[in-house]
Amino acid sequence: MSIDMASRDIPSVEEARPLFRDFGLENILVAFPSSVEELKPVYEMAGELSSRFVAINAKVFPFTPQEGADFVRASLELAETMGVEAHFELHRFTLTNDLFYTAQVMDLVPEMELVADLSHAVVSREIGLPLDDLHAELFHKVVDRSVGLQGRVASREQAQISITWPQHQEWVELFHGWWERAMRGWRARKPDGAIMNFLCELGPPPYGITGEDGYELVDRWDQALIIKDWARAKWAELETQA
């Protein structure tokens, strides 16, 4: 289960802790810090909850890649000091808002791995299909250094689209290709027994598209199960190829 720390409501997370123990749930923490200092209580919580890792959505906006790299290094160094695994998430309105900027920061910080919510980059770059060579290369750069995947499909105009509608199938195919490449890369570079996180992250409105009555046009639960089944099937297929 992913625990969203956007509200910084640590007491609520404390109340949830027994549920993780009682139901045998593992977790990741998602943080939205505006400074490295704000990561300390999150890392402490991650240690107490034995979180797999912290996904950092940094609410900082450095102007140069070097400034961004300095923030990333400091965040990762603090995590290592506190015995916690941490990664930066690809997300709009955070340090990784722009794909080109993120790629430059990655070049400066080779140890930086990403939680790949590719839908944000698709919308922020407003990419078209077929994908041009430059953007294909940059998306592969992110995918090849991903430590987790957010299971959501986007188009160039919408961060979350129905995966079953016929007009969206070229976008579904694009994301399936990225997810498969990420899984293959993970299996090739990580030790046996390592766990890759695939989160079916279908958000409520305004992520979920609604009609004029305010109700969503598709069932997110059904769509999440479809995505989950695809991810499990692809992972099992790659197992047989190992």
Structural domain includes residue 22: yes
Structural domain includes residue 103: no
pLDDT, tens digit, 9 for 90 and up, residues 159-213: 999 999 999 999 999 999 999 999 999 999 998 888 899 999 999 999 999 999 9
3-state SS assignment for residue 100: helix
3-state SS assignment for residue 86: strand
Question: Given pLDDT bands bounded at 50, 70 and 90, which one contains residue 144?
Answer: very high
Looking at the structure, do residues 145 and 237 belong to the same domain, yes or no?
Answer: yes
Last residue of a domain, one of 35, 69, 97: 97
Looking at the structure, do residues 224 and 134 belong to the same domain, yes or no?
Answer: yes
Last residue of a domain, one of 97, 127, 154: 97
Per DSSP bridges, beta strands 54-56 and 28-31 are: parallel
Structural domain includes residue 136: yes
Structural domain includes residue 75: yes
Percent of the chain with pLDDT over 90: 83
Looking at the structure, do residues 132 and 56 belong to the same domain, yes or no?
Answer: no
Q: How many domains does the chain have?
A: 2
Specify the pLDDT at position 7: 54
Specify the pLDDT at position 10: 67
Contacts of 86 (CB under 8 A, 6+ apart): 39, 43, 53, 54, 55, 56, 75, 76, 79
Specify the pLDDT at position 8: 61
Looking at the structure, do residues 45 and 145 belong to the same domain, yes or no?
Answer: no
Tokens of 65: 């890649």
3-state SS assignment for residue 237: helix
Specify the pLDDT at position 173: 98
How many angstroms separate the Cα of 203 from the Cα of each of 3, 17, 131, 220? 14, 23, 26, 8
Amino acid sitting at position 176? H
Contacts of 208 (CB under 8 A, 6+ apart): 160, 202, 216, 217, 218, 220
Looking at the structure, do residues 127 and 217 belong to the same domain, yes or no?
Answer: yes
Looking at the structure, do residues 180 and 137 belong to the same domain, yes or no?
Answer: yes
Cis check: omega of the bond before 62, within 30 degrees of 0 = no
User: Is the predicted pLDDT of residue 49 greater than 90, yes or no?
Assistant: no
Task: Indicate whether this model's pTM tops 0.85.
Answer: yes
Looking at the structure, do residues 160 and 63 belong to the same domain, yes or no?
Answer: no
Structural domain includes residue 168: yes
Looking at the structure, do residues 74 and 128 belong to the same domain, yes or no?
Answer: no
Structural domain includes residue 108: no
Length, in residues, of the chain:
242
Structural domain includes residue 105: no
Structural domain includes residue 242: yes
- In angstroms, the first-to-last Cα distance of the chain is 28
Looking at the structure, do residues 141 and 82 belong to the same domain, yes or no?
Answer: no
Looking at the structure, do residues 90 and 132 belong to the same domain, yes or no?
Answer: no
Looking at the structure, do residues 11 and 84 belong to the same domain, yes or no?
Answer: yes
Specify the pLDDT at position 102: 97
Last residue of a domain, one of 52, 69, 97: 97
Domain holding 5, by residue range, is 1-97
Query: H helices within the chain, ranges in order?
Result: 10-23, 39-49, 65-81, 99-108, 118-125, 133-143, 169-189, 220-241
Give dist(CA 106, CA 121) in Å, integer: 15
Query: How is 6-30 classified by DSSP, letter by letter?
Result: TT--HHHHHHHHHHHHHHT---EEE
Looking at the structure, do residues 60 and 169 belong to the same domain, yes or no?
Answer: no
